[in-house]
Structures are given as structure tokens and as C-alpha cells.
């Protein structure tokens, strides 16, 4: 049971890290798109 909980926590942490990476990538794309459209 304890190992299952630890695995669930590890996968949740991995998802959270992936989510923050995706958010940063989207913000970067949005930023570059705004810069290009203003040119």
C-alpha cells in the first residue's frame, strides 16, 4: 500500500512538472507570436 501511494505521488509530481513545462512553452509561443504580429 505504501509503495502504491509513493508511486502515485511520484507520477503526480511528474505530471505537475510536465504541466509547468507545457505552460512555459505556451507562454513563450504566445510571447513570440505577439512580437511577430507587432512587427
The pLDDT of residue 13 is 94
The pLDDT of residue 33 is 86
Query: pLDDT tens per residue, the chain (39 residues)?
Result: 689 999 999 999 999 999 999 999 999 999 998 888 776
Secondary structure (DSSP) of the chain: -HHHHHHHHHHHHHHHHHHHHHHHHHHHHHHHHHHHHH-
Amino acid at each position: 500500500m505504501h509503495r502504491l501511494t509513493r508511486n502515485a505521488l511520484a507520477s503526480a509530481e511528474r505530471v505537475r512538472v510536465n504541466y509547468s513545462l507545457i505552460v512555459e512553452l505556451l507562454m513563450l509561443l504566445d510571447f513570440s507570436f505577439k512580437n511577430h504580429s507587432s512587427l
